[in-house]
Structure 1
Amino acid sequence: MAATATPVVFVHGMFLHAASWASWVELFRTTGYDPMNPGWPGEPSTVAEARQEPDRVAGIGIDDIVTHYAQIIGTLGRRPVVIGHSTGALVAQRLLDQGLAAAAVALQPPPIKGVANLAPSSIPVGWPLLRNPANRWRALSLTARQFRYSHGNALTAIESDQLYRQWAIPSPGRPVFELVSANLSRRSPATIDAANPGRGPLLMIAGGKDHSAHRAVVKATVKRYSAAPAVTDYQEFLDRGHSMPIDSGWREIADATLVWVRQHLR
């Protein structure tokens, strides 16, 4: 890899291991970028270890995750493109807002502070995690059935279950509570300066069948960014659910992302 290759940092979302980005990392490497997919703070290096040691991530919040990736970026020597999925997409936006990323792609992000999440489809995703307040400080896991609803609803049951077995890991419960209470908190970690004139380009991507990050909520976030003169683009894939980066159709999304990155880093 040439010393001048643009770094790309991938940030996964809740309940997926960092290794789930492997296909994206290989694609970006073969097209001339310098990609990396570090896990969240405390996350073991393999899916098996993450399942065996869930308490290693218990209590970790969104600010902890942002700080972790900011420290990694600080070692790169130049600002990367940051590509995040789900909660990782919020982290990508935070890093872009802080001037640490040259550009960012937010796949199926949760709403930032100031955007209401009124999508009924998200209630069955969050309620099993939120109904016990003690879950805020625990590491939580999804069942295969819960994963099917939150991530794999646009897939066959066979593919959803296969992805669950391959990539699903426990995640800290704290980010779920932080996201739900974002509009009630004065210092929410979901706060973004949507009018920031100095940030780099941002691409927001939604799935038309997404239960976890409803396309209407993603569009509302894009609208909030319209106060900024910086580039904010939106793409929607009507037949896709929340498994967008990892399912059998990942290449369509990755190719669209790659085209956009090339256009905005010229």
Structure 2
Amino acid sequence: MSKTVVFVHGAWMSPLCWEHFSKRYEAAGYQCLAPAWPGDERPVPELQRAPLPELAELSVGKIVDHYERIIRDLPEPPILIGHSFGGLFVQMLLDRGLGAAGVAIDPGPSRGVIPGPVALWAALPVFLSPFSWRRTVRMSRKSFAWGFAQDLSPAEQHAAYDRYVVPTPGRIYYQAALGIGTRVNYANSDRAPLLLTAGEKDRTAETRMVRSAYRKYQRSSAVTAFKVFPGRTHWLIASSGWEEVADYAINWAREHARR
């Protein structure tokens, strides 16, 4: 069984968002890698202050290609765990034949999954920002509090924002909304096992969106599972109770991973 875990972060985040999962898994004997998107390799304060110009040029395809190169260089097929857009990327990587198992935590929509009205509202600031399809955009504290972490106190929201939130390429939001470059073959029976998870109170990746993706995967004979975490928001990887999410993910992957 694979003892390597590759974490894939989502929009607005740096790899630091996986710090809790990574420490917990490393204590259990896993080797953990959390590669940054191209252009996101610097410390969070630097990313917040001055994002690199190349970040604006990223697309879904460029990000997934970046992770594919990293994964193919590893000595064994890893367990892939992604959050938000990272969950979409994990599905695309599995579809390319990579990974021993994949966990998509509150994933962004793949082609054919229609974003719900609450999710569209959460993404509205990106679409209202001028020329956002060709530049980096910033998430406001208010948007993070509403769309990611409505279960945290104001003080906790501010602390999480300062520690984790960075600018992100606006282009990927247009791609997700229009289904451009986000296709997966739902009928692919050769891919590794996949777990899709949803947070009951998630406003960014609504539960019905994740359930819709799960239903589409029923065309495949590959192992696919769906789990809802009651009472959890989009920030379930770092808010109170993250341990339950982390343990469920790795235990499921360990049980179902290709050997």
What TM-score range do you get, normalising by the shorter chain?
Answer: over 0.9
Q: Alignment RMSD, CA only?
A: 1.4
Alignment-derived partner of residue 143 in structure 1: 140
Q: In the alignment, does 2:66 pair up with 1:68?
A: yes
**1:54 alignment partner, SS class:** coil
Contact kept, 8 Å, 1:194 with 1:224, in 2: the verdict is yes
CA distance in 2, matches of 1:161, 1:172: 22
**1:58 alignment partner, SS class:** helix
Q: Report how many residues are paired.
A: 257
Provide, for residues 31-75 of structure 1, a one-character-per-residue CA deviation record: whole Å limited to 9, x for no partner: 122111011011133101211221341121110110110111121
CA distance in 2, matches of 1:251, 1:192: 30
Question: How far off its partner does 1:162 sit?
Answer: 1.5
Alignment-derived partner of residue 100 in structure 1: 98
**2:103 alignment partner, SS class:** strand
Match of 1:242 among 223, 226, 234: 234
CA distance in 2, matches of 1:228, 1:83: 20
Task: Using CA pairs under 8 Å that are at least 6 residues apart, name the structure with larger relative contact order, 1 or 2.
Answer: 2
Superposition map of 1:174-253 within 5 A: 174-182=171-179, 188-253=180-245
Q: Which range moves more in the overlay, 143-152 or 51-60? A: 51-60
Alignment-derived partner of residue 35 in structure 1: 32
Paired residue type of 2:224: T
> How high is the sequence identity, in percent, across the aligned residues?
33
CA distance in 2, matches of 1:45, 1:261: 30
Segments of structure 2 that go 5 or more residues without pairing to the other structure are: none
- TM-score, normalisation: structure 2: 0.95
Q: Which range moves more in the overlay, 48-57 or 246-255? A: 48-57
Provide, for residues 170-194 of structure 1, a one-character-per-residue CA deviation record: whole Å limited to 9, x for no partner: 1111110100111xxxxx2110000
Paired residue type of 1:17: S
Match of 1:111 among 97, 109, 112: 109
CA distance in 1, matches of 2:158, 2:169: 22
Match of 1:23 among 20, 42, 55: 20
**2:102 alignment partner, SS class:** strand
Alignment-derived partner of residue 13 in structure 1: 10
Query: Structure 1: which 4+ aligned runs deviate by more than 3 Å?
Result: none
Q: In the alignment, does 2:78 pair up with 1:80?
A: yes
Alignment-derived partner of residue 185 in structure 1: none
- TM-score, normalisation: structure 1: 0.93
Question: How far off its partner does 1:5 sit?
Answer: 5.6
Provide, for residues 79-135 of structure 1, a one-character-per-residue CA deviation record: whole Å limited to 9, x for no partner: 111100000101100000100111100000122111222x22113211111124610
C-alpha change, 1:47 and 1:132, in structure 2 (3 Å) is closer
Segments of structure 1 that go 5 or more residues without pairing to the other structure are: 183-187
CA distance in 2, matches of 1:139, 1:162: 22
Question: How far off its partner does 1:166 sit?
Answer: 1.0
Alignment-derived partner of residue 122 in structure 2: 125
Contact kept, 8 Å, 2:214 with 2:226, in 1: the verdict is yes
CA distance in 2, matches of 1:95, 1:79: 11
C-alpha change, 1:59 and 1:25, in structure 2 (3 Å) is same
Alignment-derived partner of residue 159 in structure 2: 162
**2:202 alignment partner, SS class:** coil
Contact kept, 8 Å, 2:86 with 2:108, in 1: the verdict is no
Contact kept, 8 Å, 1:106 with 1:205, in 2: the verdict is yes
Paired residue type of 2:74: L
CA distance in 2, matches of 1:36, 1:52: 25
CA distance in 2, matches of 1:254, 1:68: 25
Paired residue type of 1:139: T
CA distance in 2, matches of 1:221, 1:133: 31
